[in-house]
Amino acid sequence: MTAAATMPLWLPFAPGLSRPAIIRPAEHALLKPGAFRPMTRKECQATIADLVRGSRLTFAEAQRAMFFVPVMGVARKAAPSFTYNNRYADSSDTATYTFSSSSIGAAAANRLVVVGVASGDASGSASSHMTVTVGGNAATLIAQAGGTVFASLWYINVPSGTTATVVVSCTSGGYFECGIGIWSLYNLSSFTPVSHAEGSSATSNLNMNVNKNDIIVMMTHNYPGSTSLTGVTSDFSGVTIDGTALMTGGSYQAAAAETPRTLTATFSSATYRGAAAAVWR
């Protein structure tokens, strides 16, 4: 319970005023942060006596008045949060994959949409000729691993709407198949990730340092075989994109700082594989 809820009267001293203002609890939310400083005991006692004598304050109110009033503070920023929305797959061999009406979570000015992409590219150059758009706007690549089969992470601020069309395009040639996973992140200090990691080994270590409340997203692609993740919670696991090409994705919000957080993608009997992860704060 706050002081305003328990105290019947506030007596802050407003700079520039010859007399302190009387601010009752119901009015304290209207004050501008930093507009008042604490009163000293001597100032408060003299003010209360003056107000009682002038009938502006009853004796009963004076007995319950706060003698030391904290400076009004700025409301604490909400902690980062996130949701996993959904995953989608298309087994076609084509140059453009369109995922219409994809869920992107609750709308908010500070929403960051993260798209994990799992696909296959005969040229082995993966995302060097790849684009991803959400609602017609270009997303930014942050992490990518693999070649013939690869996984990547893309991000974009999308303030409005709960669904959007996500388009993955190959600007040169085409892909074998394509799957995506979508997460929404909120209340971040920056849309730009603080770190990222990639791997394509049978056991790929993607360890990264995290602070409390940091958010991790990981995307993997494996052909053929399954993938197990360590350090994140699997949001989808072993989802078939095409035949034995499988995608797995996960996320995690740090309960405490870790240096580092152990993050591992372990691929089973994989000929081609890729894992990408990033941390937002």
Is the pLDDT at 145 greater than 80? The verdict is yes
Q: Residues 129-140, buried b or exposed e (16+ Cβ, 10 A)?
A: ebebbbbeeebe
| Mean local confidence (pLDDT), 105-119 | 97
Is 134 in the same domain as 269? yes
The pair of three-digit structure tokens given for residue 273, joined into one six-digit string: 């594989």
Residue-level pLDDT at 41:
63
Is 183 in the same domain as 253? yes
Which alpha helices (H) appear in 105-160, and where do they start and end?
none
d(CA 62, CA 231): 57
Q: Contact 230/184 with Cβ under 8 angstroms?
A: no
Residue 48 makes CB contacts below 8 A (sequence gap 6+) with 11, 57, 62, 65
Q: Residues 219-246, buried b or exposed e (16+ Cβ, 10 A)?
A: bbbbbbbbbbbbbbebbbeebebbeebb
Is the pLDDT at 37 greater than 60? The verdict is no
Is 106 in the same domain as 60? no
Report if residue 142 sits inside a domain: yes
| Mean local confidence (pLDDT), 65-91 | 71
pLDDT digits (tens, 9 = 90+) for 196-232: 999 999 999 999 999 999 999 999 999 888 899 999 9
Is 146 in the same domain as 196? yes
Is 261 in the same domain as 139? yes
Report if residue 44 sits inside a domain: yes
Is 54 in the same domain as 178? no
Domain of 183, in residue numbers: 81-280
Is 102 in the same domain as 175? yes
Residue-level pLDDT at 122:
64
Is 133 in the same domain as 224? yes
Residue-level pLDDT at 72:
37
- In this structure, the number of other CB atoms found within 10 A of the CB of residue 72 comes to 18
99 beta partners: 166
Quick one: which of 129, 116, 98 has its CA closest to 218? Answer: 116
Report if residue 13 sits inside a domain: no
Q: How confident is the model at residue 65 (pLDDT cuts 50, 70, 90)?
A: low
Report if residue 273 sits inside a domain: yes
Report if residue 18 sits inside a domain: no
Report if residue 91 sits inside a domain: yes
Residue 116 makes CB contacts below 8 A (sequence gap 6+) with 151, 152, 153, 154, 180, 181, 182, 183, 217, 218, 219, 247, 249, 276
The DSSP 8-state label assigned to residue 93 in this structure reads -
Is 171 in the same domain as 219? yes
90 beta partners: 178
Is 188 in the same domain as 130? yes
